[in-house]
Amino acid sequence: MTGGLFEKAHPIFNGPAFDITCPVNNPPNPRIRDRACAHRARFQRHIKRRPAKAGIRFNNPEGPDRTYAVLGVHGLAPQWFEIDADAFISQEGDVSGRIEAEYEGLITNRIILTPSIEVDFGFSHDREIGLGTGLRSVEIGARLSYDLLERNIAPYIGVHYEHLFGGTRALANNAGEDTEGVFAVIGLRLQL
């Protein structure tokens, strides 16, 4: 594994939730691998009971590291779909976004299957780390988790498929990299 992503939205407000994911296999494309690399962690907290969130994200892909300010919203859509929409602004002034939707399907009271879809897009390109403008990638996946200790700890396993689009796909093709990949993940969700 090369590079890696350490994504972190610092808890500006108390009571963060953590989600740490590590790949079981090595995704074929470095951009996909960097997004799913060991030590992927997201720290976030709602502002009181409002769906807004704020934080900082650090990326260390192949090439220079990036730091982003993060602003987003999080909430439930009809039929109990959990929606997460974030805007990122890098120290270079690059603007990008991510929309994620997932649904927690209870198999039992403690075993949960969570299918998800995530769409990444950018309003500016960053050729140094292989990101283009427009729709960048779509990731579809599913995780099977088991809730422990009053549902505050949930180890999980899963499988994800990611496909690159637009300028990001063209940059990957020019570098001789794959533009799609399937990878297995194992992780732990902690809620404090």
The count of residues in the chain is 192
Confidence tier at 44 by pLDDT (50, 70, 90): very low
Q: What mean pLDDT comes out for the span 145-174?
A: 89
How far apart CA 17 and CA 45 sit, in angstroms, is 7
**Selection from 179, 137, 159 nearest residue 30 by Cα:** 179
Cα distance between residue 39 and residue 60, in whole Å? 11
Q: Is the pLDDT of residue 87 over 90?
A: yes
> What mean pLDDT, rounded, does the chain reach?
76
- Of residues 43 and 72, more confidence is placed in 72
Q: Which residue has the higher pLDDT, 191 or 34?
A: 191
Q: Which amino acid is at 87?
A: A
φ and ψ of 149, to 5 deg: 45, 70
Q: In which band, very low, low, confident or very high, does the pLDDT at 121 lie, cut at 50, 70 and 90?
A: very high
The answer to whether domain 17-191 has CATH 2.60.40 is no
The model's pTM is: 0.73
pLDDT category at 130 given cuts 50, 70, 90 is confident
What lies within 8 Å, CB to CB, of 95 at 6+ separation is: 87, 88, 89, 122, 123, 124
* Residue 169, φ and ψ in degrees, nearest 5: -65, -45
Tell me the C-alpha distance between 182 and 25, whole Å.
9
Q: Which of 4-13, 39-48, 110-119 has the lowest mean pLDDT?
A: 4-13
How many beta carbons lie within 10 A of that of residue 128, not counting itself?
A: 12
Tell me: pLDDT of 107 over 70.
yes
What percent of the chain shows pLDDT beyond 90?
30
The residue-averaged pLDDT of 93-106 equals 92
Nearest CA among 97, 101, 53, 98 for reference residue 77: 101
Which uninterrupted H or E stretch holds 32? Answer: helix 30-36
Bridging pattern class, strands 66-77 and 81-90: antiparallel
Q: What is the residue extent of each domain of the chain?
A: 17-191
